[in-house]
Amino acid sequence: SWLDRRRRATVGGDGAVVVEADGGDDGHRAWRVEVAPGKAAPVPDCGQPLSPTTKTERQWLVTGVEEVPPPNGGHASGAPRGDGVRP
């Protein structure tokens, strides 16, 4: 699976995320992923019950995915496995 590969994610100027995966039988691949803000989910303090809590974390919704040519000439630039950013 592509999740077993070295991968990275970068946020483009248009707000879309480009996810790159390196290795495997099909080589280096990339996808452009469009996201939109979803609901805010409650986040309890460590070791505390969920309710009551005042902290929240935004959940993101995937609104579109398309495979694109890999940037950087098809190389993942040595990005560490699982390295990524959240929009």
In order along its 87 residues, the chain shows pLDDT tens digits of 667 788 899 988 888 899 998 877 778 889 999 999 999 998 888 888 877 778 899 999 999 999 999 876 555 444 444 444 444
56-68 β-sheet, strand order: 6-11, 17-22, 29-42, 56-68
Nearest to 11 by CA among 39, 40, 29, 32: 32
Residue 16: CB atoms within 10 Å: 19
